Amino acid sequence: HPLQNRWVLWFFKSDRGRAWQDNLHQVTMVDTVEDFWSHIQLASKLSPGCDYALFKDGIQPMWEDSRNQQGGRWLVSLAKQQRHCELDRLWLETLLCLIGDSFEEHSREVCGAVINIRPKGDKIAVWTSDAENQASVLRIGQVYKERLGLSMKTIIGYQAHTDTASKSNSLAKNKFVV
Amino acid sequence: GKKQYDREFLLDFQFMPACI
C-alpha cells in the first residue's frame, strides 16, 4: 500500500561537543504502509535529549532547509506526567496524520513532524512550509488538534521558525492558535 | 490518484509482517 509521499525517519541525539547537524542521523525511509509499521519506534523508548523527526524525502528537519525557512510549526507542549500515558499515542497519531495525507488539499504544505524528549517537558510539532498561508496553517491546526483528541480548552500555537530562531526568552510568540 | 488513508485503515496493518 503505497503512501502519497516518501518519508524519512531521522534521529537526533544531543552531544554538546559536536555541531548540531552532526548529531542528526537518517534512520530509514518509508513509502508504504507496511514499511512504516516495520520501522517505526515508540517515542517513549527515546532517552532525554533525543528527538525523532519524520520528514518528506528531500526536506531536512531543520529551519535552514529551503522548504522550512518560510514556514513554522504547530507545537504541542506536554506536561511531564503526560510522558507515560500520552506521549506514544500523540506521536503515533501525528505520524498517522502525516503518512495518511490527512490534511486534505493542505497536506502538500506539511513538511514533517518532530518529537523532542526533554526533562523539562516533551514537545511534538508539525512543521508546515509557509507561515503566511493562513488558510492552510489554520486548517492543518484544526484537523491536527481534532486528530490528537485534545479538548476544546487546550490551545495549541503556531510559531514561525524565524520567530523561534530569534526568540529572546524561551517562548516564541504564536502567529496563530486553535 | 491521491493516496489518503484514515487512521483505522492504517492501524489494521500495525501487526501485519511487512512483505519484503
Interchain contact A147–B (C-beta under 8 A): yes
Label residue A15 exposed, middle or buried (CB < 10 Å: 0-12, 13-18, 19+).
Answer: exposed
A101: chain B residues, CB-CB within 8 Å: 2-5
The reply to whether residue A38 touches residue B18, judged by beta carbons under 8 angstroms, is yes
Mean pLDDT of A82-104: 93
Mean pLDDT of A32-43: 92
B11: chain A residues, CB-CB within 8 Å: 96
CA distance B15 to chain A (A): 8
- Condensed to tens digits (0 to 9), the pLDDT of residues B1-20 reads 789 999 999 999 998 765 54
Q: Pick the residue with more confidence: A47 or A82?
A: A47
Instruction: Describe chain B by its helix, strand, coil percentages, rounded to 5.
Output: 25, 0, 75
pLDDT at A176: 98
Nearest to B4 among A35, A93, A101 (CB): A101
The reply to whether residue A100 touches residue B10, judged by beta carbons under 8 angstroms, is yes
CB B5 within 8 A of CB A26: no
- Work out how many CB contacts closer than 8 A connect A with B: 48
A40's torsion region: left (phi>0), alpha (psi -120 to 50) or beta? beta
Mean pLDDT of A113-121: 94
pLDDT at B17: 61
pLDDT at A68: 98
Q: What is the mean pLDDT of chain A?
A: 94
Q: For residue A99, what are the contacts with CB-CB under 8 A and spacing of at least 6?
A: A3, A5, A7, A30, A33, A36, A54, B5, B10
- Condensed to tens digits (0 to 9), the pLDDT of residues A120-177 reads 899 999 999 999 999 999 999 999 999 999 999 999 999 999 999 988 766 789 999 9
Among A123, A113, A120, A127, CA closest to A159 = A127
The reply to whether residue A4 touches residue B19, judged by beta carbons under 8 angstroms, is no
pLDDT at A30: 96
Interchain contact A41–B (C-beta under 8 A): no
Nearest CA in chain A to B19: A34
- Condensed to tens digits (0 to 9), the pLDDT of residues A55-83 reads 999 999 999 999 999 999 999 999 988 87
pLDDT at A45: 87
The reply to whether residue A34 touches residue B2, judged by beta carbons under 8 angstroms, is no
Interchain contact A3–B (C-beta under 8 A): yes
